[in-house]
Structure 1
Amino acid sequence: MRKYASILLAAALAATAVMPATSANAFPGALPGDRIETTSSVTLVAQPQSRKQVAQKYKRTKVRFVTDQAPGTVIVDTNNKYLYYVEGKNRATRYGIGVGRDGFGWSGVVKVGRKAEWPTWTPPAEMRRREARKGRILPAVQQGGEDNPLGARALYLYQGGRDTIFRIHGTNQPWTIGQNMSSGCIRMMNKDVEHLYARAG
């Protein structure tokens, strides 16, 4: 048995900070006869140009998922780059994600403190300084839209009633799903974050 680095969004107020223990076979993928969910009423707004496609294993699907967490809980497996929305009865919806690059990962139990459609991006001052040292000037504020790095939706993660500055959000770079690319936030394809947004929080 091993403990995996994860972020747990509690569905109930009485959540604990203990991460669930699991084995490698707790994430076996879809059950025989399961259908991969490929239809969505959401339009993908940020089309990558000359970029690789997202790997099939990161496409949204229903899976067997053994956990004692309540339905509605979100569990993020940062090592394998999956986010699970717990359905109950050992079932979950699994989404592919992009996670924090080295030095930017984190774990803990948090709650969705607020949600936003086409969110405004306000990069933290530290991020702006860090990127400026690389020659990239970030705006102080960027309004929501197709070019916004937060994509179509954002779920703002709170701990102890305070904003952690970490988010689950969409992306204008969908080809980064399955990679360690972010500054700690969890990024999803826009169609997937819209699907999660309608269910979580």
Structure 2
Amino acid sequence: MMKQLVLAAALFGIFSTAAIADDRYATRPPVVLSPDLTAPWINQLGGGRVRPVVYQRPVVRQPQRGIFQRRVLRQAPQAAPQTVSAINPGIPSIRRPIEPQYLPQMVDYDTTEKPGTIVIDTNNRFLYLVMQGGKARRYGVGVGKPGFEWAGAHKVTRKTEWPDWTPPSEMVRREAAKGHYLPARMDGGAENPLGARAMYLGSTLYRIHGTNAPWSIGSAVSSGCIRLRNEDVVDLYDRVNVGTRVIVM
């Protein structure tokens, strides 16, 4: 009886091993996917044309330095030379560097006038501030144009920083006849023809003042006033006081 049981167990083991071995080569059941995963595959098998997904590298655009620089450096078209706008009637718009002799400098100056006196040589376009020891501080100036020259002695009666400008009615009419239309009044500032400072002479309309047209220094273009570059009139302004004697010759 025992032998029969042992033999039966052995036969069962042999058949079980063979079954397992055969199972390796049996047809596998289809893999079942969830509806969310199978949907794309079913759509592709539905007869429609499958469009492959194509991945492209991102395009890195380099800045167009040449074009950018040309746009920045490009200048506005240059207009033909013409007169300056109404606030500077009669002054050429062609800008030129100031000549060296019109820059401020200390010079020998032989005069009987007291130190602190201002002497203006309109013919040579120089203003002298008389100093001690036969010296003077010399500045280049712009002076009255032909027909507007004058000479005389006055005192500085008032000093103003960044003065307003109210052109005289006679000047307004005169310039309007030439096609230059002056403002009734102009606040002080960089565009004001009187520039950064003004020193008023006696009870006249004449002034020693700055300018918004520094290239006009050395020329006879004003209506009688004496003009300096802004940096020069500031320097002179700080050196003189109300009551300073001014001689124009």
TM-score interval, normalised by the smaller of the two chains: 0.7 to 0.9
Deviation sequence 1:58-89 (CA, Å, 0-9, x none): 00000000011111100000000000000121
Deviation sequence 1:78-107 (CA, Å, 0-9, x none): 000000000121100000000000000101
Name the counterpart of 2:236: 196
Helix, strand or coil at the partner of 1:119: coil
Q: Distance in 1 between matches of 2:193 and 2:215?
A: 13
Alignment of 1:34-53 (within 5 A): 51-53=95-97
Does 2:182 correspond to 1:138? yes
Name the counterpart of 2:125: 81
Does 2:143 correspond to 1:99? yes
Does 2:208 correspond to 1:164? no
Stretches of 4+ aligned residues off by more than 3 angstroms: none
Q: Distance in 1 between matches of 2:184 and 2:115?
A: 38
Name the counterpart of 1:186: 226
* Aligned-residue RMSD, C-alpha: 1.0
Q: Which has the larger Rg?
A: 2
More helix by share: 2
Does 2:159 correspond to 1:115? yes
Q: Distance in 2 between matches of 1:68 and 1:197?
A: 23
Shift of 1:175: 0.2
Name the counterpart of 2:25: none
Q: TM-score, normalised by structure 1?
A: 0.73
More strand by share: 1
* Paired-residue identity, %: 54
Q: Distance in 2 between matches of 1:82 and 1:188?
A: 10
Question: Match for 1:194: what amino acid?
Answer: V
Gaps spanning 5+ residues in structure 1: where?
Answer: 1-48
Question: Match for 1:147: what amino acid?
Answer: E
Q: Distance in 2 between matches of 1:108 and 1:164?
A: 11
Question: In the superposition, relative to structure 1, how do residues 154 and 52 fare at CA in structure 2: closer, same or farther (>3 Å)?
Answer: same
Size of the aligned set, in residue pairs, is 149
